[in-house]
Structure 1
């Protein structure tokens, strides 16, 4: 009689039943540092734009394109990255994306004009856009079911760490010399080195391995997590049949997103991603420049932005707690409504205290909403579609992040900051409504089809 082997269902349930271990912490931290470096790169461009506007005398339209071209790359990267992650694995694509955008960011330090900077920022966005949905999918597939949402919000919280690092670089490095912005870009090249650590230091997702029929490889990884937790493994189960997936080709996976089972959740998650991207990047890419235009000097503008950025961390912390108490949909919608109110207050604020206070509230609610969004997105799709579904949702969102920086100068010219932030508030409200069309899998096992 042949020896019994673990089934996909057995492997998945063993992962879900594990306590939080040192291996989980290592995986979360390893993925989170990559996430933080991504945030640092995106955050740096908001400070660099304010500096280049003075040094290169570039127009607001040119500034808008420098910001938006990176998001064009992110839209393409997110769409392709998800497809590649479902085909070739989470870890491989994760490492490759870090390498691509790290090298392009470092090369940006040598840019001598707007044209070459636009080309390099596209490649930065290509790598960055692919990395984020892949990383959240990767961590969600390791996380125990009862704390999965919380761990994804904690992963997203590394974004605040990276954006704070960008604000510190913006405050201390960029104004220090004429080449300060070049040094800022050079620091953004760190991910190129970190990519090698990720490639060799983190395991592949056992759920993905099992979905490709590589049960033995998945079993070895699960056994290591169980050993770390002191759990006695019981891997035997019915002999594994060929992996049953919803779709196995890229085109079939894309069609499956719009099948009767998934079309409502796909539409709603795309709407939420579009709205949150539009309001977030439209606001936070331009806040330093808006403050400079309001009469604050470069250093003071960057100082205000640094303080505002610090409010992101408590926003993530509260969202991480509430997401396992209220669930995904309620937490996401509440934080989006809070973002809408904060946007109106910031757009109409006058005086230092009002600007900082409303800006901190906007950071708190907006980044808490981001945490909830990244938690719910990979959960609404099965394993064979998870990377594709997450990547395309992020890719659609990046379309909004392309449009928003280009529209900001137009809206500022029509109605100033009050009109601009009322528009952002409207997008937050639409996103809050769309969140109710999503599936809430709080505490439930992932769909491993």
Structure 2
């Protein structure tokens, strides 16, 4: 039995007898499962706030007389907030530690969500979405780095995949909540939709209290005794991490990535993730409108969006079972190739019967699972402890910048060129990601963090 912050976590493996066990050889513990659920809070809330806004736009658009371009701009604003938040959060996490901000940023999201009830115009709405996006962006690189640095190598891929699964689960829950509020509250339902994001933020924020600092970060910063104390409390006596203290001055952020020779890896992860995320974010932000354009209207469009998000989550869960079997590179390439097929079919057969439209969307969601899991695995495995959060923050930032551009363009392209052109564009973006992955995707399966993050593996 191990204990930390007053909470006991039964270990699934016996404590090592002589103090020479490595974290990479540990079995899965209740602590790591709880950490995955809490770290995934940022993904759940990200998916929730994006999707709930897609439903809220049904009322917000007419109330504020928003044009298609204005809808796209406001929907994209939260992604711009994530852009800046990711950069700031990643830098602060590598510089000052994972724990400090991780414990408090979800409470900021809760306060901002509650304040959204009193929005009185498009400008206030835009500012509030920007601030919420910033808070979500700050959290992304911190939670994933913590989970990576507490995970044995054979469980790292599946545990990181849980984070993106919760993103899609958050989207599905938001569509359900949004539809219930639309049906029961009336003209002000959109206000309660925006406020509702405070509920998961508060719940997950409370569960995060007591989370210890990363032993990898502590060791890298020369705080060996503190790292050993954390490891003993979480895993039992004698368990160590595969890390050494830094020599000389540590450089974090983009400058550190460039100086250390990791710019190429950063470019690959950003290009791959951006190609994957633009079609997904378009569906999240405008799910009901996109499905409505494919001949499903009203409640059917909103519930249809919720079902699709659930299939995204199912696709991620299926990928968790194979990420350690088929290899990181193979999973990435296959996922890009497979998900392009239903997008092409949606473009070619946009006037097909509703049942076939549903099949195409579900196939897209399921085939996306492997890629979405890898979007969290790669940036956390390919960079060393000094740069891990900074890299994840920059990846989060730049991929959301691309997603923001795509989200802004979706309603405009949909209105001016129709659903076929929109789906053709999504397919083309996916094929770009496939090409990038074929050329540059590395293999990190079964490696220690020190090995996968080395430029010489």
- TM-score, reference length from structure 1: 0.89
1:401: which partner in 2?
A: 403
Deviation per residue, 1:67-106 (Å, 9 max, x gap): 0111111111111111111012122222333223222222
Tell me, in whole angstroms, the C-alpha distance in 1 between the residues paired with 2:420 and 2:240.
60
- Given the alignment of the two structures, is residue 439 of structure 1 paired with residue 455 of structure 2, yes or no? no
What's the counterpart of residue 304 of structure 1?
A: 304
CA offsets 1:162-220 (integer angstroms, 9 cap, x no match): 11111111221134321211111111112552465255231211111111111111111
2:370 aligns with 368
Superposed, which structure 2 residues align to 1:85-124 within 5 Å?
A: 85-124=93-132
Cα distance in 2, alignment partners of residues 125 and 142 from structure 1: 27
Distance 2:93 2:441 in 1: 23
Match of 2:39 in 1: 31
Provide the residue aligned with 1:334 in structure 2: 334
Q: Is residue 56–residue 178 contact of structure 2 (8 Å, CA) maintained in 1?
A: yes
* CA displacement 1:129-178 (0-9 Å, x = unmatched): 12123222211111101121111112321122211111111221134321
- How far off its partner does 1:386 sit? 0.4
Quick one: structure 1 residues 320 and 55, their matched pair in 2 at CA, closer, same or farther if it must change by over 3 Å?
A: same
Secondary structure at 2:103's aligned position in 1?
Answer: helix
1:147 correspondence with 2:155: yes
Separation in 1, partners of 2:365, 2:249: 39
What is the CA–CA distance in structure 2 between the aligned matches of 1:235 and 1:324, rounded to whole Å?
23
Distance 1:122 1:234, change over 3 A: closer
Q: How many residues were matched structurally?
A: 431
TM-score by length of 2: 0.87
Among 24, 27, 30, the alignment partner of 1:22 is 30
Q: Distance in 2 between matches of 1:63 and 1:402?
A: 12
Distance 1:245-1:274 versus aligned 2 partners, 3 A rule: farther
**Any unmatched runs of 5+ in structure 2?**
1-17
**1:326: Cα distance to partner?**
1.2
SS in 2 for 1:201: coil
Alpha-carbon separation, structure 1, partners of 2:322 and 2:208? 33
Match of 1:219 in 2: 228
Other-structure match for 2:269: 269
Q: Contact 1:136 / 1:152 at 8 angstroms: preserved in 2?
A: yes
CA distance in 1, matches of 2:427, 2:20: 40
Contact 1:316 1:368 in 2 (8 A): yes
CA spacing shift, 1:338–1:106, aligned 2, 3 Å: farther
Structure 1 gap segments, 5+ residues each: 1-9
2:238 to 233, 236, 239: 233
Deviations 1:232-251 (A, max 9, x none): 526699xx98x21686244x
Q: CA separation in 2, counterparts of 1:245 and 1:32?
A: 33
2:389 aligns with: 387
In the aligned structure 2, how far is the partner of 1:97 from the partner of 1:328? 31
- The answer to whether 1:132 aligns with 2:140 is yes
Distance, in Å, in 1 between the alignment partners of 2:290 and 2:207 is 37
